[in-house]
A and B are shown apart, each in its own frame.
Chain A
Amino acid sequence: MKYPVIKGTSYVLIHTPGLLLQQANLEGLPFSHLLTDQLRSFDSVAGYPPNQAFIGNLFPEDLPQIPRPWYNNSLPNAKRQGLLGEIFPEDEFLGLLHAVDVYGLVCLEAGFKLAVSEKLRSHPALSGLNGIATAQDNGCSHAEIQEIIKAGEALPLTFGGRIIGCIRKAHSSDSTLSASRVLENLTAKASAAAALQLLFRKTGLKPQDVDYIIETSEEACGDLRQKGGGSFAKSIAEACSCSNASGADTRAFCAAPVHALMQGAALVQSGIFENVVVVAGGCSAKLGLNAGIHLAHGMPVLEDLLGAFAFHISKDDGINPIVRTDLIGTMKVGCGDSPQQVYSSLVAEPLTRGGYKILDIDRYAAELVNPEIIEPTGCGDLAQKNYKMIASLAVLRREMDRTGIEEQIQRFGVPGFAPNQGHIPSGVPYIGPARDLILRNKVNQVMIIGKGSLFLGKLTRLYDAVSLIIQRNPKQKASVSI
């Protein structure tokens, strides 16, 4: 069987303390005035070990060797650029937000706009973005911006504690087009566009060669009568000059990226399209989600980052790792929701179908949210909980003795390292490191697991999970560097 391959990946983090404060104000959080003192600087965000792992300057497997708390153990000389991605500061993000806005809803102060446009025009990946390459409006005056905000027509945009712009509502009465919803949606679009531009830069994929884009964030774009109509995918394709591409959005809460990878792989394998991109931007509503708990623990506010990614799926090139489309694991509607049933259906069943055992997999990657962010909430280390279940399932299936559980978890469990951005940590942050390790003959096969809290939408009490296996290309002869 000719399997599709993962031809390239890119990962983006965007430091957005201003957006975090905006979110806290929107939610009317009683402690929002306390947040400012606990916000991190860009340098401390760049040096934060899990962030360096996210952009590929460190393997996630190396994180447990770095003493906790990681926020007190910044890596010296950390760079914003990494092998797999890049960390962006907030001023560049605000410039991006303006660049991807095709309705004139984002107003930036003239001086700020000029400075940030210069930065973006000199960025090797972002300079090609529509709206940066092309000249737009000259910006607004501070007085104009203040007036629009005062009239209740817009929300302020800040940088370094100063109002440097605003984002307008897109309709006078439709709440689905309020300024806060426009901000959420343009945030997802802008961060996804940055990830796609970075993918082009890192892989050499040309925008005009992209056939189809699947967008997998958790935002809903539409109006009063079609609240989640979409399409983020085509808007991102347009922003990134993918003139030959079409696309659509896939939604499955945090499980969506793995569903989309499966769909993208199927589109390639069937011959419908040759080059498919799976992309997702970040979620502004999740910024500072647990800020109150972090403050109570005397921690910095760690949920100050948007995440984004882009993956290129293409036909077999004899080099890149393959997606085993014949070994997809799902959580079927009738499978029940006890962990034993879920992991049997999700992990054991596809492996058995392929003649593999649980312990044949070199790495499992599930719920990769950075434990330092969520442990104070009482949730524990979500990734490790998944691996404990998988190891226990191996015991139940008599693949090993229960005394071996901890050792196997150490061997196959990818530690959590991703920002708490819902769909972003859901297994897929490890695709980049996995591709690297597989190409360098260090690892043979990896299972990526996406899980989603479908019940949050109140249409069902189900949750969801989907798994796929990425494997060394059988035709790959020598070790390859990415």
Chain B
Amino acid sequence: MDQENQAQIRALAEKYGDEELIAVLGSADPEMAVIAAETAAGSDPAFVDLFAEAQLGLKSYHIAELKEFIDHQVYLRHMEMMEMVLDIPGIIHEVSTVRKQFFPSEVSV
């Protein structure tokens, strides 16, 4: 996630409050999902020294975790093929692990 995107997310989080926002990820593999989730939750691990104060404080969910909240036809139109390609259980495991690490009191969806 580039620095400009982080700045935008930080501005939104400050404007609306951490409790009103979640980050929805579309990362294609567990490793990238972890990086994005950690960035949204805390500081970007790639720029730890530079952005130590940049705590975004947002919980992340991968789009595949939110399937039940999305119209089934819309979900199929965008995600049916990706479900074949992605390691969905692996991604969900990794993203939820990051949530538990940063937000120990989180309630799973």
Which residues of A are in contact with B by a Cβ distance under 8 Å? Answer: 336, 338-341, 343, 378-380, 385, 388-389, 392-393, 395-396, 402, 405, 458
**Which B residues are in CB contact (< 8 Å) with A343?**
81
| Minimal beta-carbon separation of A296 from chain B (angstroms) | 11
Q: Check B81–A339 contact: CB distance below 8 A.
A: yes
List the A side residues contacting B35 at CB < 8 Å.
378
Q: Give the interface centre of B35, B79, B85 by most chain A CB atoms within 10 Å.
A: B85
Contact of B82 among A336, A340, A402, A458 (CB under 8 A): A340
Secondary structure at the A interface, as helix, strand, loop or mixed, is helix
Q: Taking the nearest CB of chain A, how far is it from the CB of B39, in angstroms? A: 12
Q: How far is the CB of B56 from chain A (nearest CB, A)?
A: 19
Interface of B is mostly: helix
Interface string of B68-109 (1 = CB under 8 A from A): 000000000111111011000000000000000000000000
B14 CB–A CB distance under 8 Å: no
Cα A340 to Cα B80 with chains together (Å): 8
Q: Which residues from A are CB-within-8-Å of B85? A: 339, 388-389, 392
Contact present for B28 and A395 (CB under 8 Å): no
Q: How far is the CA of A378 from the CA of B81 in the complex (A)?
A: 23
Question: A338 and B28: CB pair below 8 A?
Answer: no
Whether the Cβ atoms of B81 and A393 lie closer than 8 Å is yes
Q: Tell me how far the C-beta of B12 lies from the nearest C-beta in chain A, rounded to whole angstroms.
A: 15
Q: How far is the CA of A458 from the CA of B8 in the complex (A)?
A: 13
Q: Are B82 and A339 in contact (CB under 8 A)?
A: yes
Chain A residues with CB under 8 A of B32: 378-379
User: Is B78 a contact partner of A389 (Cβ separation < 8 A)?
Assistant: no
In contact, B78 and A402 (Cβ under 8 angstroms): no
> For A380, what are the chain B residues with a Cβ–Cβ distance below 8 Å?
28-29
- B81's partner among A379, A392, A458 (CB-CB below 8 A) is A392
From B31, B80, B81, contact of A389 by CB (8 A): B81
Contact of A340 among B4, B28, B29, B79 (CB under 8 A): B79
Whether the Cβ atoms of B31 and A338 lie closer than 8 Å is no
Q: Is the CB of B31 within 8 A of A392?
A: no
A340 in contact with B31 (CB, 8 Å): no
Please give the distance in Å from B106's CB to the nearest CB on chain A.
25
B82 touches A341 (CB 8 A): no
Beyond A378-B32, A458-B4, 19 additional pairs, beta carbon < 8 A: A338-B26, A338-B78, A338-B82, A339-B82, A340-B77, A340-B80, A340-B82, A341-B78, A343-B81, A378-B35, A379-B32, A380-B28, A380-B29, A385-B28, A389-B85, A392-B84, A393-B81, A395-B81, A396-B84
B contact residues, range: 10 to 19
Beta-carbon nearest neighbor of A340 in chain B: B81
A378 and B31 alpha carbons, distance in the complex (Å): 7
**Can you list 25 residue pairs at the A/B interface with Cβ under 8 Å?**
A336-B78, A338-B78, A339-B81, A339-B82, A340-B78, A340-B79, A340-B80, A340-B81, A341-B78, A343-B81, A378-B31, A378-B32, A378-B35, A379-B32, A380-B29, A389-B81, A389-B85, A392-B84, A393-B81, A395-B81, A395-B84, A396-B80, A396-B84, A405-B84, A458-B4
Smallest beta-carbon distance B47→chain A, Å: 12
CA distance A392 to B32 in the complex (A): 21
Report the bound CA distance from A393 to B85 in whole Å. 10
Report whether A338 and B79 are in contact in the complex, using a CB–CB cutoff of 8 Å: yes
CB contacts (< 8 Å) of A340 on chain B: these are 77-82
Distance of A423 Cα from B32 Cα, bound (Å): 24
Instruction: Return chain A residues, CB-CB under 8 Å to B84.
Output: 392, 395-396, 402, 405
Q: Least Cβ distance of A285 to chain B in Å?
A: 16
Q: Considering the chains assembled together, what is the distance between the CA atoms of A342 and B55 in angstroms?
A: 34
Q: Are A396 and B81 in contact (CB under 8 A)?
A: yes
Chain B residue at minimal CB-CB distance from A380: B29
CA distance A83 to B6 in the complex (A): 47
Chain B window 33-47, contacts with chain A (Cβ cutoff 8 Å), 1 for yes, 0 for no: 001000000000000
B49 vs chain A, min Cβ distance (A): 10
Give min CB distance, A339 to chain B, whole Å: 6
CB distance from B7 to the nearest CB of A (A): 12
Across the A-B interface, the 6 shortest Cβ-Cβ residue pairs: A338-B78, A340-B81, A392-B84, A392-B81, A392-B85, A396-B81
CA distance A396 to B81 in the complex (A): 7
Residue of B nearest to A397 (CB): B81
Which residues of chain B are within 8 angstroms of A379 by Cβ–Cβ distance?
A: 32
Give the shortest distance, in Å, between B11 (CB) and chain A (any CB).
15
- For the complex, give the distance between the alpha carbons of A402 and B81 in Å: 11
- Taken together as a complex, chains A and B put the C-alpha atoms of A319 and B15 apart, in Å, by 64
**Across the two chains, which residue of chain A brings its CB closest to B83?**
A392
A412 to B15: give the CA distance in the assembly, Å. 49
A1 to chain B, nearest CB (A): 32
Residues of chain A lying within 8 A (CB to CB) of residue B31: 378
The docked-state distance in angstroms from the alpha carbon of A340 to that of B4 is 27
Residues of B within 8 A of A341 (CB): 77-78
Bound CA–CA A32/B82 (angstroms): 40
On chain B, the residues within 8 Å of A458 by CB distance are 4
User: Which residues of the partner chain A approach B79 to less than 8 Å between Cβ atoms?
Assistant: 338, 340
CA distance A458 to B26 in the complex (A): 20
Residue ID in chain B nearest A405 by CB atoms:
B84
Closest to A378 in B: B31
Find chain A residues with CB under 8 A from B26 CB: 338
How distant is the Cα of A385 from the Cα of B32 in the complex, in angstroms? 14
For A405, what are the chain B residues with a Cβ–Cβ distance below 8 Å? 84
A388-B82 Cα distance, complex, nearest whole Å: 10
Q: Which residue of B lies closest to A338 (CB)?
A: B78
